[in-house]
Amino acid sequence: MTTGELQRLRTHMTSTLNALIFLIPSILLQYTMPAGSIGVNYGLNGNNLPTPAAVVQLYKTHGIQKMRLFCPNPQAQQALERTNIYVSLGVMNRDLPSLARSQTAANEWVKNNILPYRNTHYQYVTVGNEVIPGPFSQYVAQAMRNIKTALNNAGLSHVRVTTVIATSALSISFPPSAGAFSAESLPAITAVLRFLEEQGLPNNVLMVNIYPFFAYAADPQHVSLQYAQFTATGNVVIDHGLGYQNLFDAMVDAFYSAMEKAGGRTVGIAVAETGWPSAGKGEQFTSPALAQTYNKNLIEHVRRIGTPKRPNDHLHVFIFAMFNENQKTPPGVEQNFGLFYPNGQPVYNLAF
């Protein structure tokens, strides 16, 4: 072998090795995240919260594997680099029109908000938060498409693109098999589900917000505390042969039913928000003990099994929220969903 040929071989081997080094983290990202995993929302509606670097350290100290950021946060994203925390990063609602109209805008969003922190483990980009139904809903599906194209072009095809919807998008939620989207929500949801169906497994995931607390607090005569907190000892609801011992499963399965009716038969669900406040409405409804019971049982349930409708589909779930945020409105319940006080002390003990 000549000197020139040897040099070309060394160059080829070096290029191949560099390519593998780049690809391995992306491959591991897709396959090492445990099914039925739990994360926590990191909200910033407080004027007394720790620095983002301190918050990331708090996640690491308590073994919290996933963080949901509602919007880009350079300080947090920088602190998250080279950690084992998986991140869901939100696109702000106000950006949806421009991202839907322009692939260039989507490319710039990824360039500015993802690529500078490429050593962060991004699992999801959520394009819009609770905008369906509403005036921004018409932009969601196309903005999702453009963001996904931008991620693919940047070598980040493993990052899942989705949106977050609330139970207000449903017109029927009980019984779970009757779940259906409202007429106002249906056009935008159908477009979103069409995009997600095209992505195929395991990338076709819709994020939803599930709050048994609000159903219980609104109607405690008909929604028992045990059903809301995973503590019922038997089935509370029987629906077409499926037994429901907790409201969380019933609410998730209502979304599954609605999605099937709207053309999303293979689309999965991740829970973007769920939780229980520790104060704000009286001890019958809110206390540290009640919040601890709900979140403890939630973690155990999600790690063990899926829902009656899809028992083998384990859910990725984000608890709301990391801190009691004193600028959340209205005052009361909304300011008391945190697992921690702003000084970093736990509101109650919870094992991750």
Residues annotated as catalytic (active site), given as ranges = 130, 273
Strand-strand pairing, 242-244 and 237-239:
antiparallel
Give the strand pairing for 38-42 and 205-209: unpaired
Residue 94 CB burial class (10 angstroms; 0-12, 13-18, ≥19): exposed
Nearest CA to 59 out of 34, 90, 35, 38 is that of: 38
60 phi/psi in degrees, rounded to 5: -65, -40
Contacts of 211 (CB under 8 A, 6+ apart): 167, 273, 274, 275
Helices 140-153 and 186-199 pack at an angle, to 10 degrees, of 20
Helix axes 103-113, 140-153, angle to 10 degrees: 60
Residue 35 in 3-state DSSP? Answer: coil
* 290-305 core/surface letters (b: 16 or more CB in 10 A; e: else): bbbbbbbebbebbeeb
Instruction: Pinpoint the alpha helices (H) of 37-88.
Output: 52-61, 74-80
